[in-house]
Structure 1
């Protein structure tokens, strides 16, 4: 039940998934503010993350990733890496992984999470095909946003039609690489989570019009 929970998964939870977690949260805050909704975005959607491996548990996010967030107006403060657990998957309404291999790890840990687990690039391919007229109306209420989010996940899963992710859906691991590589990954993440936020909080467009 509310809030709608999005879990971002990568390998170490210090680069890709933290950027996705915080960029989605940032986009949601902007949309809720633009709509003038008298509610916190965090009360509507909980965006958090974990890593399939435990090498960096408790660490802050990788500094190049944090720089990309600051450059885009998002906040890296207070982050600590976590290792993926089954209970996190049980409580998630949407699971977004950096790679197809990590989606497989999620399914192995919790087979019943398969229908709501997508590679981030896979979600980005499918979102534009969703018939938004069939989604419940959202509004400044956690239950409404939750119901819309659940319906959106079901619609994207139906569009997937059990087809496997494509190789191009993966996000390359930028760990240890130059800032321009991190910038490219952050741009790609933002290009996916921004439309996701727009579908979860559609009223912002009407309010801004």
Structure 2
């Protein structure tokens, strides 16, 4: 049996953007498949810097996740390591600069590493009808996920991300700013989950 399809979100300190993305992805997946979620998809996050390792989510980020029906319990920030990239089937970074950092750690992850907004923008251009069929079991979900990432990478065609694909850093900003960033995260992770778990 294949492991769950693994999505890794990356930002700078791993206390604002990537933890919101981690928990909002899981929430969207749970809404679709309920308690089977942990068998089908594994979502984690990390930061390019380790300053906040072990810390909880930044309070406004945690508030935003809770406000949307997710939970922030049990989160602890961590510094991104090469081994985290080795086990990720899809890596979504908040900015193009972070993609460069990721590729510096693991050049072989290029085909499965995207800026979050870039992935969302390109996802709409693929024909999901060509993907392996969905079934609520680990093996078909894994096969569908890998094919989905390959399809989005093909559409990308080696083009660099666009400036507007970057996710603004909300650290130190007000709740309205965090809410906008969370909306932008949702705009990619919800279609991603829908494509992956197309029940």
TM-score (norm 1): 0.93
Per the alignment, residue 46 of structure 1 pairs with 42
How far does the alpha carbon of each residue in 1:47-102 deviate from its partner, in whole angstroms, 9 at most, with x for none?
A: 00000000000000000000000010011110000000000000000000000000
Segments of 5+ residues of structure 1 without an aligned counterpart are: 34-38, 204-209
Per the alignment, residue 134 of structure 2 pairs with 138
Aligned-partner Cα distance in 2 for 1:29–1:201: 10
The answer to whether 1:125 aligns with 2:127 is no
Per the alignment, residue 186 of structure 2 pairs with 190
Secondary structure at the aligned position of 2:43 is classed as strand
Per the alignment, residue 7 of structure 2 pairs with 6
User: Which of 173, 176, 183 is residue 180 of structure 1 equivalent to?
Assistant: 176
Secondary structure at the aligned position of 2:19 is classed as helix
Name the count of aligned residue pairs. Answer: 198
The answer to whether 1:104 aligns with 2:100 is yes
User: Which of 60, 65, 70 is residue 61 of structure 2 equivalent to?
Assistant: 65
How far does the alpha carbon of each residue in 1:107-148 deviate from its partner, in whole angstroms, 9 at most, with x for none?
A: 110000000000000011001111011000111110110000
Per the alignment, residue 26 of structure 2 pairs with 25
RMSD: 0.7
Aligned-partner Cα distance in 1 for 2:187–2:121: 11
Aligned-partner Cα distance in 1 for 2:100–2:61: 25
Deviation at 1:2, TM superposition (A): 1.9
Aligned-partner Cα distance in 2 for 1:139–1:19: 27
Aligned-partner Cα distance in 2 for 1:202–1:12: 32
Per the alignment, residue 207 of structure 1 pairs with none
TM-score (norm 2): 0.98
Aligned-partner Cα distance in 2 for 1:116–1:95: 6
Aligned-partner Cα distance in 2 for 1:64–1:24: 18
Aligned-partner Cα distance in 2 for 1:196–1:19: 15
Secondary structure at the aligned position of 2:159 is classed as coil
